[in-house]
Amino acid sequence: MNKSRLAFVIAFTFLLTCSGASAQAPSAPPAQGAAPADPMDPVVDRIIERENALVQAFANYSPLVETYIQNLAPDPVLGAVPKNDTYFLGKLDLTKGVTGRPLTAAPGFGSAFKNAITQIYSIRYLADGFAKLILVDGKNFSRDQYDFKYVRKEFLGEVRCLVFDVQPKARTGDGKFFGRIWVEEKDYTIVRFNGAYGTSDSSKKYFHFDSWRQKMGPGYWLPVYVYSEESDYGYFLGRRKLRFKAQTRLWGYNLALPDQQDERTNLFVESEKIRDDIAGMADLNPVLAQRAWERQAEENVIQRMQQTGVIAPDGEVNKVLETVVTNLEVTNNLTFDPPVRARVLLTSPLESFTIGRTIVVSRGLIDVLPDEASLAMVLAHELAHIALDHHVNTKYAFHDRMLFDDAKTFRELVLKRDETEEAAADEKALELLNNSPYRDKLASAGLFLKALQHRAPQIPNLLRPHLGNYLAEGKVIRMKPLMDGAPELELARLDQIAALPLGGRVRVDPWDITARLVKAEPVALQSTREKMPFEVTPIFPFLTLQSVTNNKPQQQAGP
């Protein structure tokens, strides 16, 4: 990695993960009897009050935050394509500003990281970078600091909004937001803001961003997405230009396990049905005891990952995955007791793995797979591990092994397979696929692998698994025989869709981390530039006035 690229990666990650936000008291209301200077003045006062209240309320939550950045290079066919990438996953601690703990081995927070930036990079970044992407101004959002200009009314989803242009007043200092805000008309809460941060010092640079919130839980509009993009960002005195796209996602504001409330409610309630069900039951025989022990290890790992917020609870996406698994089982005369299940890992890197008889597929991998046959390829590989009895390590059946800090989740849980098991699973998976309803559709799966191999050198961080094995590492290393039966990869061919962009298939409820499928009509592409395989795109959620937890609206995919 050359010095300028390394410097950019470190600096941008610091911008997204460092803190320093504190709430200011709301501005004082106008004096009694004083006529407002503008009809919108009372509305602006309410907007300021609500935003400062959000800063205070935000300190009660500790969501996960994931940032994925793709640096871009011009391409004569596709417009701009990734040339390298970087990735960060952490958990925010908002009790003292905005700080956090990384869940991965990537650079995280701290003074040593800050010092590294100032030593090797000529662009200076302020310490409160990440707070500025999820808060308009976490230090002093007031009339003394900003001018507001009403623009129009506009709908975001079903939410009618008042739109204002916002600029900092003269001589109010650096790092002040300037851009546009969208304010929901009912309570005057900011639900979206788009722009950058102003500075009079040419040595300080800020990236442009588009920040979205959704209503959830107790009725707060909390940050969920930030999209950042630069197409001509100058640095090193303007002699060099950066082009990049980045997505930041926040989720896991409320990570209580879904059955905990029911268990507390029924803790002291005796059930005649339970007593009836256990009548006549006896100790498990040795075989069933071994199965139960392995299932306990499996359950412990899944529940611990759900507690951390990285795996979704049982939901509609699982059912789709399990339907494909059933198709593979039935046509191959496979029966398992206990049955095979599926779950969704909520992160972007492309990976899949098994935990006992539970198959886990990442949100990012589900997003980019072009069709059901390609999904069957992924699931067949994991089902092969189960059929070959590559079981979970039963050390996880001991509950003390689950008593670790969330930040250590990916270090404490070791689920990778050795190469012998991986090769055996590949061979078995090909057998399963050739006996399945997908056997005549595997050309698309092979084409997906060709597209992945073509792009793999530029997206190593998207291919670096948290818990599973690499699907590709510089080149495809799994299920390679499928590429032999695939057509040639034609990047300029508009109707050949080998892989999809990130973010188009799965939406995650930021409050309770349930996953659901995006229900959007297919869009006819107008140019090869719109194919965007494995790429970051803008995010346009469908906003609703009801909490996303209690109301599951149809979501739009990004444009």
Does position 160 have pLDDT exceeding 80, yes or no? Answer: yes
Which pLDDT belongs to residue 16? 44
pLDDT (mean) for 230-247: 70
Which pLDDT belongs to residue 256? 65
pLDDT (mean) for 57-65: 88
AA identity, residue 495: D
Which DSSP category does 212 fall into?
A: E
pLDDT over 70 percentage in the chain: 78
pLDDT band at 107 (very low <50, low <70, confident <90, very high): very low
pLDDT digits over 205-214, tens only?
A: 678 899 999 9
Global pTM value: 0.85
Which pLDDT belongs to residue 212? 97
Which pLDDT belongs to residue 398? 97
Which pLDDT belongs to residue 167? 92
pLDDT (mean) for 163-188: 90
Domain chopping of the chain, boundaries: 3-29+36-250, 283-530
Does position 165 have pLDDT exceeding 80, yes or no? Answer: yes
Which pLDDT belongs to residue 35? 54
The token duo for 287 is 């075989």
Cα 296 to Cα 339, 389, 397, 411, distances in angstroms? 14, 16, 5, 20
DSSP string, 457-485: GG-TTTT--SSS--SBSSSB-SSTHHHHT
The token duo for 173 is 């200092």
pLDDT digits over 506-543, tens only?
A: 999 999 999 999 987 888 999 999 999 999 999 999 99
CA dihedral sign, ordered 156, 68, 248, 176: negative
pLDDT (mean) for 412-436: 96
Please tell me which residue, 105 or 110, carries the higher pLDDT value.
105
pLDDT band at 109 (very low <50, low <70, confident <90, very high): very low
Does position 67 have pLDDT exceeding 70, yes or no? Answer: yes
Q: How far apart are CA 422 and CA 465, in angstroms?
A: 15
Which pLDDT belongs to residue 442? 97
Which pLDDT belongs to residue 15? 47
Q: How far apart are CA 530 and CA 493, in angstroms?
A: 12
Does position 105 have pLDDT exceeding 50, yes or no? Answer: yes
Which pLDDT belongs to residue 99? 63
Which pLDDT belongs to residue 106? 53
The token duo for 75 is 């391409």
Which pLDDT belongs to residue 233? 59
pLDDT (mean) for 492-510: 95
pLDDT band at 381 (very low <50, low <70, confident <90, very high): very high
For residues 451 and 499, the answer to whether their CB atoms sit within 8 Å is yes
Please tell me which residue, 25 or 294, carries the higher pLDDT value.
294
The size of the chain, in residues, is 559
* β-strands 341-345, 358-362 pairing: parallel
pLDDT band at 204 (very low <50, low <70, confident <90, very high): low
**H or E segment at 522?**
none
Does position 116 have pLDDT exceeding 80, yes or no? Answer: no
Q: How far apart are CA 309 and CA 132, in angstroms?
A: 24
Closest CA relative to residue 331, chosen from 441, 440, 433, 443:
433
pLDDT digits over 432-450, tens only?
A: 999 999 999 999 999 999 9
pLDDT digits over 397-411, tens only?
A: 999 999 999 989 999
Q: How far apart are CA 458 and CA 85, in angstroms?
A: 7
pLDDT band at 18 (very low <50, low <70, confident <90, very high): very low
Q: Which of 169-183, 389-403, 540-554 ranks highest by mean pLDDT?
A: 389-403
pLDDT (mean) for 254-270: 55
Please tell me which residue, 352 or 235, carries the higher pLDDT value.
352
Average pLDDT, the chain: 83
- Token pair 């300080």 is found at 204
Helix (H, G, I), strand (E, B) or coil at 96: coil
DSSP string, 136-178: S-SS--STTTEEEEEEEEEEETTEEEEEEEEEEPTTS-SSEEE
Which pLDDT belongs to residue 532? 95
Which pLDDT belongs to residue 119? 31
Q: Which of 26-35, 96-105, 462-471, 522-531 ranks highest by mean pLDDT?
A: 462-471
pLDDT band at 547 (very low <50, low <70, confident <90, very high): confident
Q: How far apart are CA 467 and CA 479, in angstroms?
A: 19
CB atoms within 10 A of CB 371: 15
pLDDT band at 77 (very low <50, low <70, confident <90, very high): confident
pLDDT (mean) for 115-144: 57
Does position 8 have pLDDT exceeding 70, yes or no? Answer: no
Does position 236 have pLDDT exceeding 70, yes or no? Answer: no
pLDDT digits over 23-55, tens only?
A: 343 445 555 555 556 788 999 999 999 999 988
Residues 6+ apart with CB under 8 A from 306: 255, 257, 312, 313, 513
For residues 401 and 303, the answer to whether their CB atoms sit within 8 Å is no
Q: How far apart are CA 305 and CA 344, in angstroms?
A: 11
Which pLDDT belongs to residue 6? 44
Q: How far apart are CA 156 and CA 184, in angstroms?
A: 9
